[in-house]
Every structure is written in structure tokens, then in C-alpha cells.
Amino acid sequence: MKLSIFLSAALLFLAASNVQAQTNRRLLCYWMPGIPASHINPWLCTHIAYSFLGLTAQGGLTFLWRSEAEVVSHLQSVVALKAQNPALQIIIAVGGYNVPLVPVWSAMAASAAARNSFANNLLAFVRQHNLNGVDIDWEFPNYDGTAPQDRDNFSILMETLRAVLPSEYSLSAAIGAGAWRTNLSYDIPRIFVPATWIGLMTYDLHGSWEPRTGLHTAMYRSSLDPTDQNVDASVQLVLSRGGTRDKLYMGLASYGIGFTLDNAALNGVGAPASGGPFMAYNQICQRLNANTLTRVWEPTQLCPYAFQGTLWVGYEDRESIIYKANYIVNQNLGGGLFWVLDDDDHSNVCGHGNFPIIWPASDIIVWGWRTRPSMQRNTTFV
């Protein structure tokens, strides 16, 4: 009886210790917001980034897709999560993949006056709305190779922002992955200095712009895909160029990129194909449950894909995310970032708990539960 009581007490102590044993790694989650903030568990991510504000060539801020009143309302609702988790950090992301903003970024970053105006406008914005930092999502400096001055100007912009923002505010940037983009856009060691962290967007590594199927979050190269368009090669490239491990956050995805197969009978990685749909994980899992997609695991690239007829989609699931989260830990990286909260199964429509993609990553990266990746989080915040 005494032994039973002792073992029960020990198990309770270990469980409590796990809950409290947060690591020094962080998990940034972008939020569009396509779901109410009240649906987000305040312990799921260490940082939430409202996405996105826009900008002007003179350094002003604009409201993308929503009115100012709507943006302010969303910010108030997500900041309110801090009442449950005071350590939660809410930041504002500027830009995103927005082709009309490409020349605007270039013009703003080329002007010292506009850079200073931009930095001071952001400082006023984060103070006004009780935010904790700024995330720069310029996609991308020297977008198509015709503006080489952007590479240096991006570094100068980051330095300007750091000089203006007090130290209590985080400053981060999301950067593109792969050798081609890195060479065009980034002075890696220079941008890491002013940044609190740099988020490496290790997704969209393959897509419908290519004539063959490919896993957009492939972990490693394979004989089916011998290119360097994979997560490991992208991370190692940044590190080899002078990026620091503790400031590097590796990108994770809660969505898939689809293709249209030229021939439904040829449905593996590298099959001839053309453009297809982007699919949120909450769409993919419903089709898997309904048997209208067939899942296949790619053992070398450590990712699943699914197909039905001529539809083919590469995506992330619990299994592949666990590999990536453990990679972040094993590589001693500073953390991970998720695009995007809205695309996970946030309402448990597929029966695997709320946020079944993001929770395993959080358990491993933030909470250090490396041996418990099968744990399901079912708490609903509504």
C-alpha cells in the first residue's frame, strides 16, 4: 500500500514537473486571424504574431484586408490571452507574401528618413496596443534579382529598427529558405546581430510553379528529389553563412501544397504535374477520414503526401512534425515558427484533439516532452 502511494505521488510529481519544465526554446505562431483568439490555447505558443500590417514607401503603416477598427479588435482579443498566460508574447508582423508591397519595401528601406519613420511608427503602434515586439516579413529583398541594393538596405533597416525599439521589445524577421533566395536577399551574419531571432521559412520549398510533384517541407534530399530544396539543407546553409543557432527559429507548416498530376497512375514524389491547390491541414485530415485521400509516407524525406485521382498534396502531420521538432532540439536551435494557427485542426473536426499539428511541436520544443509526442491536447478554449 505504501509503495503504491509512493509511486502515485512520484508520478504526480513528474507530471507536474513536466508541466512547469518549460525550456528556453520558443515557438512563434502566426495568426491571420481566421479563427477567434478565444479558440487559441494561451499555452500553445510562446509568441503569437498578428499577421499582417502593411506599409507605405514613406514609412507609414497601413491595415491590410481589414479596417483599423477590425485590426484593433483582433489585437485586443489576442492580448487578452495574457490574462491566462502572462508570459505569452504578442507581436505585430508587417508585410507577408504580398507582391504589390515588393517595390514599397524597396523604396522605404532605401531612404534613411523613411526607415526612421517606419521604426518610430512601429514603436508607437506596439506601445499603443500593448504588444511585445515586431516581426519583419519583407518577402523578399531583391525579389527577382533586379534590386541588389535591397540586400544591404534590409540589413540597415533591421539595424535602424533595433536602434529605435527599446530592448524590452523583440525584433525578428522571417526570411526565405534555400541557396538561391539567401544569395539574392540576405547578409546572414549582419541581420542576425540586431535580431532577437530570425525565422527561416522552411516551407514552400516545392510548389505548383514546378513541373513535378515535391514535398514542400521535405526534411532531407532523396533519390526522388536530389535538390537542396529541403529543410536540413536550408538550415545548414544559414548556419554555415554565420547564422547563430540560438537565434534561428525553423519554419513549420500546418498546410499542404497541392499539384495536379498529369497521369493519375504516376503519383509519387517527382511525378509529372502542374499547379494545384493550397490545402489547410483541417481540410486534408477531413478528406483522409473520409477516405477521399490516400496517405503515403516518404521515409527518406520524412513527410507524408496524399493523392486521389489527379489531386496530389504534400503536407505535415503529427509524425512528420515530431521529426522536425526533435531536429530543432537536436540542432540546438532557438525554436520554431508555425505558419499558421488558422490552418491546423483548431476545432477538433477530425477527432485528434485541437491543434494536433502544433501541440506535438510545442510539447517537444517548448516543454521538453521529447518522449511523449503521442500526447493529445483536447482542451477547447471557446
Give the pLDDT of residue 21.
Answer: 52
Q: What is the pLDDT along the chain (382 residues), one digit of tens a residue?
A: 333 333 333 333 333 333 435 789 999 999 999 999 999 999 999 999 999 999 999 999 999 999 999 999 999 999 999 999 999 999 999 999 999 999 999 999 999 999 999 999 999 999 999 999 999 999 999 999 999 999 999 999 999 999 999 999 999 999 999 999 999 999 999 999 999 999 999 999 999 899 999 999 999 999 999 999 999 999 999 999 999 999 999 999 999 999 999 999 999 999 999 999 999 999 999 999 999 999 999 999 999 999 999 999 999 999 999 999 999 999 999 999 999 999 999 999 999 999 999 999 999 999 998 544 343 443 333 3
* Entry pTM: 0.92
Residue 255 CA to residue 252 CA, distance in Å, equals: 9
How confident is the model at residue 6, as a pLDDT? 33
| Domain spans of the chain, in order of start | 23-253+316-365
First to last CA, the chain: 42
- Identify the CATH number of the domain defined by range 23-253+316-365: 3.20.20.80
For residue 373, give the 3-state DSSP assignment. Answer: coil
Q: Single out the residue of 242, 375, 264, 362 nearest to residue 309, CA to CA.
A: 264
What is the Rg, in whole angstroms, of the alpha carbon atoms belonging to the chain? 21
Instruction: Write the DSSP string, 261-289.
Output: ESSTT--STT-BEEEEEEEEHHHHHHHHH
CA dihedral over 124, 129, 132, 133, signed as positive or negative: negative
Q: Exposure string (b/e) for 40-67, b if CB count within 10 Å is 16 or more?
A: bbbbbbbbbbbbbbbbbbebebeeeeee
